[in-house]
Amino acid sequence: MKDRKTWFFHGVRDGMPIAVGYFAVAFALGIKADGAGFSALQAALLSLLNVTSAGEAAGIALIGAGTTYVELAFTQLVINIRYLLMSCALSQKLSPSTGFFHRMLIGYGVTDEIFGISAAVEGKLSPYYSYGAISVAVPGWTLGTLLGTVLGNVLPMRVTAALGVALYAMFLAIILPPARKSRVIAGLVAVSMAASGLLTLLCQHFALTWFTEGFRIIALTVTISFGAALLFPVKEQHEEVEA
């Protein structure tokens, strides 16, 4: 049986590749935060306290556009609600004796990548495994954002432009694998992109200033997700029990 130290360093080992990837993506995020008027400290705290790539990218864009608090809150709820489901799934891998504060600390560090490596752990999940992964992944994410904000105006324009593409590359890396496996998902991605572009053009043409970017994200996410759930429901697989 592994002790706490073994579990912790197991998490550190599995979390190192995530930390490297987070640093590169967060550097690009820091450049965008600098362009939106964030200071280096504000950007670093944003990453340290949130640890969500898509949520932070949308939040920075909305704050830079002068959005309202309500719009920002609803946007973050829609984008980050998947972490609630991930936390519920991981709670089933924890021992029933795992305390409340352990569960809260693990929940802080639940990201797509950390969830992936935690779900792959055989048997019960130790909180100290999560602590090990979080201890390297979160500093990588925070430091990348900090340096991106500070060095965004120092590095040559070609370098910052190339790093800025990393954020979009990360989004593509998230949607392409499932899209290749499922025609439904691929179709929904295409519909989402087309609908987003069309809605933006309509808002500009008819001067719908009240229908801002944040509300467009919410409307499209809820509408397309609801439609996909009705048209393409996921069939549950029931195990056949022999009498």
Note whether 170 and 186 are same-domain residues. no
Each residue's pLDDT, cut to its tens digit, for the chain (243 residues) gives 678 899 999 999 988 988 888 888 898 889 889 988 999 999 999 999 999 888 898 899 889 888 888 888 888 888 888 888 889 889 989 988 889 999 999 999 998 889 888 888 888 899 999 999 999 999 999 999 999 999 877 777 777 667 666 656 766 776 787 788 889 989 998 999 999 999 989 988 888 877 777 678 778 888 898 898 899 887 654 444 444
* Residues 157 and 47 reside in one and the same domain: yes
pLDDT of residue 170: 61
> Residue 188 falls within a domain, yes or no?
yes
pLDDT at 236: 54
Residue 142 is assigned to a structural domain of this protein? yes
Give the N- to C-terminal CA distance of the chain in Å, as an integer. Answer: 37
- Whether residue 199 sits in one domain with residue 158: no
241 falls within a domain: no
User: Is 63 in the same domain as 105?
Assistant: yes
Task: Indicate if 161 and 207 belong to the same structural domain.
Answer: no
Q: What is the DSSP string of the chain?
A: ---HHHHHHHHHHHHHHHHHHHHHHHHHHHHHHHHTT--HHHHHHHHHHH--HHHHHHHHHHHHTT--HHHHHHHHHHHHTHHHHHHHHHHTTB-TT--HHHHHHHHHT--HHHHHHHHTSSSSBPHHHHHHHHHHHHHHHHHHHHHHHHHTTTS-HHHHHHHHHHHHHHHHHHHHHHHHH-HHHHHHHHHHHHHHHHHHHHHHHTT-TTS-HHHHHHHHHHHHHHHHHHHSPPPP-PPPPP-
Dist. CA 148–CA 29, nearest whole Å:
7
Sole residue written with tokens 């069309």: 198
**How far is 20 from 123, CA to CA, in rounded Å?**
27
Q: Which of 82, 81, 80 is nearest to 57 (CA)?
A: 80
Number of folded domains that form the chain? 2
pLDDT at residue number 214: 67
Residue 191 lies in a domain: yes
The residue segments making up the domain with residue 132 are 4-174
pLDDT at 112: 83
Q: What is the pLDDT of residue 174?
A: 64
Are 166 and 211 found together in one domain?
no
